[in-house]
Amino acid sequence: MSIEPNRLVLRPARPSDAPAVANLWTRRAAARGQSSTYTAEDVEHRWQTPGFTLETDTQLAWDGPTLSGYSHLRDVKEPHVDLFVTVHLDPSVETDLDLADRLFQWVERRGHASLANAPGEARVVLIAGAPAEGASTEQLYLRRGFLVDRVFSEMWLDLASSPPAPEWPRGLAVRAFRPQDDVALVNAYRDAFRDQYGYLEQPIDAELERWRHWTRQPDFDPALWFLALDSDEVCGFCCCYAESHGDKETGLVDEFGVRPAWRKRGIGRALLLESFRAMRARGLKAAELTVDSDNRSDALALYAGVGMKVVSQSHTLLKELRPGRNLVVS
């Protein structure tokens, strides 16, 4: 199905549009057989990401009272070389290339406007994600010049039976996150991910604000953020949520890592088991996470070792806006 171009109204999002956007995301999930249900609060929180502005960073396509398309560009990470983009079409018009092109044209204009914020010698790219199965979404990106850059695996664990109790290395302890841990956690994250695909070194203040924003999410619960401690030093972390992308029966392992000096000691396995047991105690039926399929820390083997299985894959797609020195780990 296609929409008559003269019927479309394209404009930036307004705060009052959050329920319509949540409904669009939910319709898209249902069309893919997913049970995710998004709320206006979910959308509003994403729009409140530090550095994100509705007026300049979103574009909605309306067919009368129906929201048929949504796009945004997030230029929120210094030094402004990774520009994260989304183009979502309603399932009923998912093959409408004219609508897709108009939203992508806006994305690209918005991306070029961000070039002035990036270091002059740096490479700047648009970044998007799309399911590997069912190529309709990915094809929209490919026909606009995006290229597949990386494969990610979605892994899943059935929590019908209780995971084994974690075995902690001698001298290490685990506890839940506390607000005063934010600096230590961010430093542990930077150390754990500095050699991983997609890592971009940011000023510490910007990184801290990004993490603090996550602690203000509607579904944030500090009791599901676990820290592994060696004396008082954070050596590993597993930050989880009691729902996954709108699915309220599945827990999400969102950020997980062990600092290089503490790897190969069983800390990652213990953190995962601690998290899975906490999820099950809350009545969640499953846990899931997404992992780089070429992860340098052999994370796939770790996740398989605690019983997780690959259930689907997705692609990271890039489009180069400006060549130059790559500041991002690749």
Give yes or no on whether 5-118 and 155-312 have one common fold: yes
| Neighbouring residues of 249: CB distance < 8 A, sequence distance ≥ 6 | 35, 243, 284, 285, 286
Question: Quick one: pLDDT at residue 134?
Answer: 67
Lookup result for tokens 């961000």? 114
Compute CA 171 distance to the chain's CA centroid, rounded to the nearest angstrom: 33
Query: What's the pTM value of the predicted model, to 2 decimals?
Result: 0.93
Domain 155-312 listed as CATH 3.40.630.30: yes
Domain ranges of the chain: 5-118, 155-312
- Token pair for residue 241? 């949520």
Instruction: State pLDDT tens for residues 170-190.
Output: 999 999 999 999 999 999 999
Instruction: State pLDDT tens for residues 303-320.
Output: 999 999 999 999 999 999
Burial class, 131, CB count within 10 angstroms (exposed 0-12 / middle 13-18 / buried 19+) = middle
| Neighbouring residues of 281: CB distance < 8 A, sequence distance ≥ 6 | none
> Which CATH number is associated with domain 5-118?
3.40.630.30
* pLDDT average, residue stretch 256-265: 96
pLDDT at 246 over 90: no
* pLDDT average, residue stretch 224-233: 97
**Containing H/E element for 299?**
helix 299-305
Burial class, 296, CB count within 10 angstroms (exposed 0-12 / middle 13-18 / buried 19+) = exposed
